[in-house]
Structure 1
Amino acid sequence: MKKTWLLGVGFFSISITWALYNAFIPFFLEKFITSTALIGFMMTIDNYFALFLQPWIGSRSDRTNTRFGRRMPYLLIGMPLAAVFGALIPWHTGLLTLILFMVLMNLSMSLYRSPTVALMPDITQDSKRTQANGIINFMGGVGSIIAFAGGAYLYEQHSSLPFLSASILTLICLAILLFTIKEKRDAIVYVPAEQKESVSFKAEWNRPTVFLLGAIFFWFLSYQGVEALFTLYGKNHLQLTEGEASFSLAFFSLAFVLGAIPSGLLGKRFGKKLIIAIGVIGLIFIFAAISFVDQLLPLRMLLIVGGIFWAMININSYPFIVALGKEQSIGTRTGIYYLISSLAAITSPPLMGGMIDLFGYSVLFYFASGGMVIAFLFLLGVKDKGLTKALPKQGTSTTYN
């Protein structure tokens, strides 16, 4: 568990960067673009990279074998580049340079997101992965809270300060990971690249996996659109200041942090599917209720409850996907997980933005609630019997050669 807490530092840096990106990039884009649908589309740039790069990089990291390990080389390249380009974003001189810095930062982050996530199951026994996912997402949630709360204050001082701070923290987090996580020493199960069976991308799509991925697509369709457009919703629909809108997201992230570790424990005790189902049902009602709210206090109260339900979903979904495959396919399955979530993230902001252009901002949370309903229907198709058959046998601990 000590290594899991240290690995959470990597998720901390990823979360703080993406939280700031989603909170403040729409304000930069709004200066040049009037269409909410087009702003939503521009907010999906990172997911196009995730769509094509992350499954490939995740699979490639399964076959990588260096003195730094399988995953760490990708962190050593991607994190410094992401820090540099992220810090440059607020210094854009026009729409062209803004898009250029956004693309370069997203490309850099795509190099290390899947390998960072895949490190968790690498160094964690299968029976403890849901708890471990709770811990690392707890750290990620702390990053989001700092981004939304501290970032709102820094942004009001100067728009560059949140991004500069996130870049510095990314480099510090990389140094911590490099000196505390030694893959060759810490791996629970490791098969050197030259001894590993070839992992077929197609073979990973068994029936339980397909239904679960369908559910993942639709709950991310709901969540990603809300995350990308919430600050504009708060500013233009609720008449909040930019700082108030971004700070409100800190309440959602705070609840997510508080619910992360308990959600992992509940998933282990009662089963991942049940806890995810409770979270999905809860968000159906929370998103629907937010549609009727026009005051700041009840909005933030609902966001707190929503953050707890989101923790129940998000903490258990990735270990669920990994559990349906073999140890040799962890990186590949991580890539598949990001493939589906990225498809949802590509689809959601422009789709929600287009609906907002047509019907107004009030449609945002109705749409999100509907997406959760469809996710729940897919989740019902993940049969326990199929899961039992799909679960791999536990491997024995091995070490690097």
Structure 2
Amino acid sequence: MRLGLRAMLAYSAGSVGAGAFYAFNNFVIPLLLSAMSAPDLLIGLLSSTRSIEGVVVQPAIGAWSDRLSTRLGRRRPFLLAAIPLSALFLFLAPFANTLVQVAVAIFLFSIFFNVAVDPYAALLPDITPADQRGTLSGLSNGIQLVSQVAFLIVVSIAAASGEVPLWTFALCGAILLASFAVTIRFVHEPRQLAERAAHLPLRAYLETLFRNGQALRYLGTIFVYQFGLSAVIPFLPLFITKDLGQPNEIAIALSALTLLVTAASAIAFGAAADRVGHRTVLGIGWAILAVAALGGTVIRFLPETIGVVVLAGIGNGAATVVKWPLLTLLIPAEETGIYAGLSAAADSVAIPLSVFVATELFLPTLGYRGVFAMLAINIVIALALFLAFVRVPRATAIRAPLAQ
């Protein structure tokens, strides 16, 4: 059954909260932790939405959500349980008195957010025909990125005095709760998928998983790409403030500009992917990002930084919008949860490893701009592997999910 605009907006409501969370985690937390004199390695680890425990937790959550059958469906129970817990620790974090206590709070609200966000991603192919997944992914990612921009604008105004206020923790938690409540209430899951997966023997389920060579090769290329990208995200605000000498509000404003361009690019490329193919769009996105990363290694002044930011936003929008829909074209409909978990597990290894390599090898010799060199190298490798080893069917050739 094809999805109407109302259903697409109901699903995308959760992206408003996810956007606020990503903006806070990736761009605001580094500034808060830097003000507390946290070391670069700790800033990089805590400012990433994925952490090492996700290697075990996320595939387990994904597999559980594939085989769960409840009145709410198989994905929404995880949203209902985990989002309020993530919000709770966001509300409690401002009361922490030491760096250790802040770190624990960040760790906990990130864990519970991740427990919810992978079933949320798996919900997209559950409710959407294959030839609409690029469109819905573009819409939801666009909304998520606009939400990030709006959140950062609020924070930028609040930080005009020179410090980021602690009430931004509570603001993020409140947006998270309200937006996911809409998705939980108004999105209806197809029962047939849950019933079919629940009756599939566990051994057959796992055998199907590990026989899917195309999907596993694709996850391998995503790991290489994420290894480079994850070094940039937490250190971009610090590059702007410390290497370029700009104030916090400029760092936040440039981050917001990146996200705004990414949002527009995601919406445009999401619709294009359903027509020209997800593989083509991903290749274009990675190529543009590689050029932007090379530019990042040589920029010295604010105007040229804005140009690189715009170029990076275009490439990132194309890459982001097809990353998950492309994987759904390579996997059985009954197993989207565990593949979402495996993708998250790859990120959970790539992100801390990337941060460690960046802080130990690139930052000491090249400063914060070294992360751009690291990104360029990894994108070139990932693109070569993707084009050589991953074959993607057209969305029109994939059987649509069962009607509700």
Give the TM-score taking structure 1 as reference length: 0.91
Residue among 352, 360, 374 paired with 1:367: 374
The residue that corresponds to 2:335 in the other structure is: 329
Deviation, 1:304, is 1.6
Deviation string 1:138-183 (CA, Å, 9 cap, x unpaired) is 1111121112222222344652232221111111112212321122
Match in the other structure for 2:246: 240
Amino acid across the alignment from 1:270:
V
1:120 and 2:120 matched = no
Match of 1:286 among 271, 280, 292: 292
Question: Is contact 2:131-2:396 (8 Å) kept?
Answer: no
Deviations 1:217-246 (A, max 9, x none): 122222221111111111110111112112
Tell me if structure 1 keeps the 8 A contact 2:297–2:373: yes
Q: In the TM superposition, what is the alpha-carbon distance from 1:85 to its structure 2 partner?
A: 0.9
Shift of 1:253: 0.5
TM (norm. structure 2) is 0.90
Shift of 1:313: 1.0
TM-align CA RMSD: 2.4
Partner of 1:150: 154
CA distance in 1, matches of 2:46, 2:246: 23
Counterpart in 2 of 1:356? 363
Letter in 2 for 1:359: L
- Paired with 2:15 and 2:53, the residues of 1 have a C-alpha distance of 19
User: Is structure 2 residue 11 aligned with structure 1 residue 7?
Assistant: yes
Q: Secondary structure at the match of 1:365?
A: helix
1:23 corresponds to 2:27: yes
Name the % identity.
22
Q: Over residues 222-279 of structure 1, what are the superposed CA-to-partner deviations in whole Å (9 max), with x where a residue is unaligned?
A: 2221111111111110111112112211111101111112111221221111111111
Between 101-110 and 23-32, report the one with greater CA deviation: 23-32
Of stretches 96-105 and 83-92 in structure 1, the one that deviates more from structure 2 is 83-92
Task: Give the match's secondary structure for 1:397.
Answer: coil
User: What per-residue deviation string (whole Å, max 9, x for no partner) do you get for residues 66-96 of structure 1?
Assistant: 1111111111111111112123333321112
Equivalent residue of 1:360, what SS?
helix
CA distance in 2 between counterparts of 1:202 and 1:357 reads 45
**CA shift at 1:40, angstroms?**
2.1
Give the secondary-structure state (helix, strand or coil) at the position aligned to 1:228.
Answer: helix
CA distance in 2, matches of 1:388, 1:282: 23
Deviations 1:47-70 (A, max 9, x none): 224322111111101111111111
CA distance in 2, matches of 1:323, 1:247: 36
Letter in 2 for 1:80: P
1:392 offset after TM fit, Å? 8.4
Structure 1 residue 396: Cα displacement: 6.1
Q: Answer whether contact 1:204 1:325 (CA < 8 A) is retained.
A: no
User: Any unmatched runs of 5+ in structure 1?
Assistant: none
State the match for 1:271 in structure 2.
Answer: 277
Report the Cα distance in structure 1 between the residues aligned to 2:398 and 2:301, rounded to whole angstroms: 52
**Corresponding residue for 2:234?**
228
Q: Would the aligned equivalents of 2:55 and 2:349 in 1 still touch at CA under 8 Å?
A: yes
2:315 paired residue number: 309
Letter in 1 for 2:381: I
Cα separation, 2, equivalents of 1:352 and 1:396: 42
The answer on 1:173 being equivalent to 2:184 is no
Q: 1:217 to 1:104 in 2, by over 3 A?
A: same
**Counterpart of 2:402?**
397
Contact 2:197 2:334 in 1 (8 A): no
Q: Which residue of 1 aligns with 2:385?
A: 378
Q: How far apart, CA to CA, are the structure 2 residues paired with 1:11 and 1:63? A: 24
Higher mean C-alpha deviation, range 282-291 or range 41-50: 41-50
2: CA distance between counterparts of 1:303 and 1:172?
A: 31
From 296, 301, 305, give the equivalent of 1:299.
Answer: 305
Deviates more, 1:325-334 or 1:151-160: 151-160
Separation in structure 2 between the aligned mates of residue 317 and residue 10 of structure 1, nearest angstrom: 18
Shift of 1:128: 1.2
The letter of the residue matching 1:374 is I
Q: Please tell me the residue identity of whatever aligns with 1:77.
A: A
1:331-350 mapped onto 2 (5 Å cutoff): 331-350=337-356
Tell me the distance in 2 between the aligned counterparts of 1:3 and 1:111. 23
How far apart are the structure 2 equivalents of 1:39 and 1:103?
Answer: 12
Deviation at residue 206 of structure 1 after TM alignment: 3.0
Pairing 1:200–2:232 present: no
Contact in 2 for aligned 1:74/1:112 (Cα 8 Å): yes
Give the secondary-structure state (helix, strand or coil) at the position aligned to 1:105.
helix
CA contact (8 A) 2:129 2:401 kept: no
- What CA distance in whole angstroms lies between the structure 2 residues aligned with 1:135 and 1:276? 17
Q: Residue 135 of structure 2 contacts residue 270 of structure 2 at CA under 8 Å; is this kept in 1? A: yes
Verify: 1:320 aligned to 2:329, yes or no.
Answer: no
For 1:108, give the aligned amino acid: F
> 8 Å contact 2:159–2:248 — kept in the other structure?
no
